[in-house]
Amino acid sequence: MSTTTPPAAAPEAPGTPEAPGAQETTPSPLLTALRTHLAPADVLTAPDAVEPYRSDVTGLRDTRPPAVVVVPRTVEQVQEVARAASAHGVPLVVRGAGTGLAGGAAAPADGIVLSTEGLAGIRIDADDHVAVVGPGAITDHVDLAAREHGLMYAPDPASSQISTIGGNIATNAGGLRCVKYGVTRESVLALDVVLADGTLLRTGHRSVKGVVGYDLVSLIVGSEGTLGIVVGATLRLLPAPTAVRTLVASVPTLPDAGRAVGVVTGSGVRPSTVELLNAATLENIDAHSGTDLVARHGGGLVLVRTDGPGADAEIALLADALSAAGLDAQVLDDAEGERYYELRRTGRGHRADLWSVGEDVAVPRSALVPVLEAIEEIGRRFDVDVTAVAHAGDGNLHPGLSVPKQPGETAPPARLHEAADALVRAALAHGGTLSGEHGVGIAKRHWLADELGAEQIALQRAIKAVLDPAGILAPGGFLADVPVDDVPFAADGTAVP
């Protein structure tokens, strides 16, 4: 792909594009404007070059491809792209690595995709415990750069090896460690943002604290690319923990799981990870990874980590507290601890023979077990297989729903969507939210009014109109005014509620 070539000087005037789309005979005024400011190789229109930018992990895609994918190399180029989009009234969607799970980066038909891959700089200012990065920086690369200075970047979404900071900011990404260190928002101190009209907004501060003016950083974080284009971020770093300790507790029943989580989160220790895996998840991992988790743990397990100088004392205290509560809890050695952690992160397989849905709801602490029970009941009611993993320390559940594909089926059966709908409504009924960390995007916007109500949606649209009055940025995103029954399905047939 030509988009990874080094930056080239923008030509003085538009020349012949290197790889014009097959359909491109006379360049449109939009393309002409873009080629005035970006190198030819950074303005993609050929169908095969554009294709990889059309969707994210959901596979959700618009009816027609975008007119162009641009790969700006400088903030000024981003400003020019925004100005061109505004001048020509063309929708613009910002794209990181395309690891999103809600369709937020789906390319707009005939519009512009702005890929951040050319803005991936990472600078560590160790004295200030901050990283100053471009939106295209890979999450783990920021963490690795910080570790060279004894520091770390705490948020660790499961996609951190390939996801970008800009994408993490767009969705306010969580992860396994955020039960101790907070989600992405708690690690973003300042943002540089290009608004739809090309204005560069610098907001936030380099200090940990600051209360001057409205918190526009928090407004931008989690706004899914609808308010502005993040072109730079100042991230908070923390001392890297010198030790990490792990324990695993077997939880034969869901009430046992709830009790285990309650013991851990009520102990006063601040664990860095509290994950819950139910029986069906253990079966899935065993089938995919050749492990014997079901034999070892039966109905489920809770995986807990502590880190920092008190890690040993803290893990021992938690193991004692779990044992005192009648649960079988074992402190693992480093290698075993790492193995369990990696199995949790990556141990489940993708099954091509299933229609499947990955959910992301969050509920108050007291609702964890009732909602897990509701999930199992929903599986039985709709004849759908259910797994459940959860960032249990903060009530964030990722149930998986699946049904076997039948020969000749081109779309999942209705009961899969009905089960997902019942699950989301169960979470809402228990005081929860329809997304804990993945975002709303295109995939979940049909539930938006169920959580926010029409008045708050109107207010949020009015705020968007302040920053993006012409509605250029992600106009088809989570705030789009679309019919409530517009339940999208991915092009490959995977339902993505």
Residues 14-73 that bind a second copy (CB under 8 A): none
Between residue 135 and residue 154, which ones bind a second copy under the rule CB under 8 A?
150
Near a second copy by CB under 8 A: residue from 172, 272, 278, 281: 172
With CB under 8 A, what is the number of residues at the site for a second copy?
88
Nearest approach, Cβ of residue 383 and a second copy (Å): 29
Nearest approach, Cβ of residue 119 and a second copy (Å): 22
Q: Does 207 sit near a second copy (CB under 8 A)?
A: yes
CB contact at 8 A, 291 and 349: no
CB contact at 8 A, 203 and 181: no
CB contact at 8 A, 228 and 78: no
Q: Does 462 sit near a second copy (CB under 8 A)?
A: yes
Near a second copy by CB under 8 A: residue from 29, 47, 89, 266: 266
Nearest approach, Cβ of residue 465 and a second copy (Å): 8
Q: Does 348 sit near a second copy (CB under 8 A)?
A: no
CB atoms within 10 A of CB 485: 6
Near a second copy by CB under 8 A: residue from 52, 199, 255, 334: 199
412, 415, 418, 423 alpha-carbon torsion, rounded to 10°: -100
Nearest approach, Cβ of residue 310 and a second copy (Å): 3
* The one segment of 244-252, 332-340, 408-416, 455-463 that binds a second copy by CB under 8 A: 455-463
CB contact at 8 A, 270 and 180: yes
Closest CA to 177 of 333, 310, 342, 306: 306
Q: Does 255 sit near a second copy (CB under 8 A)?
A: no
Near a second copy by CB under 8 A: residue from 185, 344, 348, 398: 185
The nearer residue to a second copy, 5 or 366, going by C-beta atoms, is 366
Whole-number Å distance between alpha carbons of 392 and 398: 10
Near a second copy by CB under 8 A: residue from 223, 250, 273, 278: 223
Q: Does 426 sit near a second copy (CB under 8 A)?
A: no
Q: Does 323 sit near a second copy (CB under 8 A)?
A: no
Q: What are phi and psi of 239, to 5 degrees?
A: -55, 135
* The one segment of 31-39, 43-51, 265-273, 380-388 that binds a second copy by CB under 8 A: 265-273
* The one segment of 214-222, 276-284, 327-335, 344-352 that binds a second copy by CB under 8 A: 214-222
CB contact at 8 A, 24 and 17: yes
> Tokens 């492990």 — which residue?
291
Near a second copy by CB under 8 A: residue from 84, 158, 304, 434: 434
- Beta strand 200-204 with 151-152 is unpaired
Closest CA to 306 of 268, 279, 335: 268
Nearest approach, Cβ of residue 52 and a second copy (Å): 26
Q: Does 452 sit near a second copy (CB under 8 A)?
A: yes
Two tokens, residue 343: 């199995």
Q: Does 183 sit near a second copy (CB under 8 A)?
A: yes
Q: Does 460 sit near a second copy (CB under 8 A)?
A: yes
Between residue 80 and residue 109, which ones bind a second copy under the rule CB under 8 A?
none
Q: Does 78 sit near a second copy (CB under 8 A)?
A: no
Q: Does 370 sit near a second copy (CB under 8 A)?
A: no
Between residue 379 and residue 398, which ones bind a second copy under the rule CB under 8 A?
391, 394-396
Q: Does 274 sit near a second copy (CB under 8 A)?
A: no
Beta strands (DSSP E) in 225-279 are: 229-236, 238-239, 244-250, 273-278
H or E element, residue 388: strand 385-391
Using a 10 angstrom Cβ sphere, with 0-12 exposed, 13-18 middle and 19 or more buried, the burial of residue 232 is buried
Cβ neighbors of 249 (< 8 A, separation 6 or more) are 260, 301, 302, 304, 322, 327, 328, 329, 330
